[in-house]
């Protein structure tokens, strides 16, 4: 009995010691959460923050091929003012606006219609969604090069038109059709993403509402427009902002298909910044245009952030 009484305190001490060692072991094996942010922070700083700082510095300086390596003279807002008074920039802004309208129509109107058709689960739907995902995953330079081949003057599309007895069309050489061709290809590449997002939103709509509308005699498209579409308003708002941001970042398709031509018919704001910086080597002008575009993108990103926050709270 005495031995048992002596062993109980010893056992308690052993349990306490093992618990303390386990806690200390967990503390040693679990570093502070902020330490995990060191490596990503360094990578982001090197890849994004440092070039952004240099972009702002060049935009407010006089930088060209003669003094690229050396000291840069500070000119203040002269580069930004010169670009804001340039008709070339406003022409590129008009091209960007037209591409934005095409993307909005494609993503919101066509994307909604395609998503409404593919909302029902079936083998055909799975096959079409897989194909659209493949199209969306293609690199823009690859898609643009393929479409440049298809829409060339002697390409397969004009060959098909010739077999049908129709005249060939200058899809990429005509000043009036080149922008529409680039806009079509850009919309074609962005449509799968819009369809996937809208289809996901449609699947989250309560089935009771859809079934109640069907019981009341509403047709399929009446239900989609009057019941489903109002439920997708937050999703479509976010998608519209993303389409606008995507249009401001559109560079790859123009570079691959037209290189801004014919003339300046397909030169948008990002491509104009590229031309000024790496074709004419006016780095100050190119940086000023890129900085102005970045300001517009930031202003457009604010409604997107607020919409996402409201939807998360809801």
Q: Between the CA of residue 90 and those of 264, 276, 294, 295, 297, what are the distances in Å?
A: 12, 15, 16, 16, 16
Share of the chain above pLDDT 90, in %: 47
Q: Where are the domains of the chain?
A: 76-313
Classify 35 as helix, strand or coil: helix
The average pLDDT across 122-135 equals 89
Burial of residue 185, with CB atoms counted within 10 A of its CB: 0-12 exposed, 13-18 middle, 19 or more buried:
buried
The closest of 191, 192, 161, 179 to 257, measured between CA atoms, is 179
Question: Under a CB-based contact definition with an 8 Å cutoff, are residues 258 and 182 in contact?
Answer: yes
- Is the predicted pLDDT of residue 283 greater than 50, yes or no? yes
Give residue 193's pLDDT.
92
Highest CATH level, class, for 76-313: mainly alpha
The average pLDDT across 71-97 equals 94
For residues 238 and 161, the model is more confident at 161
d(CA 90, CA 182): 19
Count other Cβ atoms within 10 Å, centred on residue 267. Answer: 22
- Is the predicted pLDDT of residue 40 greater than 80, yes or no? yes
For residues 83 and 25, the model is more confident at 83
For residues 244 and 92, the model is more confident at 92
Q: Evaluate if pTM is beyond 0.95.
A: no
Give residue 268's pLDDT.
93
- Is the predicted pLDDT of residue 90 greater than 50, yes or no? yes
d(CA 157, CA 155): 6
The closest of 241, 285, 293 to 268, measured between CA atoms, is 293
The average pLDDT across 244-260 equals 86
């Amino acid at each position: 009995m005495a031995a048992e009484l002596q062993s109980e305190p010893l056992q308690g001490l052993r349990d306490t010691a093992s618990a303390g060692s386990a806690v200390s072991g967990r503390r040693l094996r679990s570093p502070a959460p902020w330490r995990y942010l060191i490596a990503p922070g360094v990578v982001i700083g090197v890849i994004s923050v440092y070039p952004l700082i240099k972009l702002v510095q060049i935009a407010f300086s006089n930088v060209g091929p003669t003094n690229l390596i050396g000291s840069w003279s500070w000119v203040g807002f002269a580069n930004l003012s010169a670009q804001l008074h340039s008709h070339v920039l406003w022409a590129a802004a008009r091209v960007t606006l037209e591409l934005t309208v095409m993307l909005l129509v494609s993503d919101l109107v066509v994307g909604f219609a395609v998503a409404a058709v593919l909302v029902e689960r079936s083998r055909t739907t799975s096959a079409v969604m897989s194909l659209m995902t493949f199209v969306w995953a293609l690199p823009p330079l690859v898609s643009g090069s393929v479409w440049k081949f298809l829409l060339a003057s002697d390409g397969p599309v004009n060959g098909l038109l010739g077999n049908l007895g129709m005249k060939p069309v200058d899809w990429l050489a005509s000043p009036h059709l080149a922008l529409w061709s680039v806009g079509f290809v850009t919309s074609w590449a962005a449509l799968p993403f819009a369809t996937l997002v809208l289809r996901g939103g449609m699947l989250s709509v309560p089935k009771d509402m859809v079934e109640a509308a069907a019981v009341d005699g509403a047709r399929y498209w009446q239900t989609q427009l009057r019941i489903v579409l109002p439920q997708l308003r937050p999703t479509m708002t976010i998608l519209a902002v993303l389409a606008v941001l995507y249009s401001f970042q559109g560079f790859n398709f123009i570079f691959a298909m037209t290189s801004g031509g014919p003339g300046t018919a397909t030169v948008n704001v990002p491509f104009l910044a590229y031309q000024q910086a790496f074709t004419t080597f006016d780095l100050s002008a190119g940086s000023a245009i890129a900085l102005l575009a970045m300001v517009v993108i930031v202003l457009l990103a604010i409604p997107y952030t607020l919409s996402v926050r409201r939807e998360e709270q809801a």
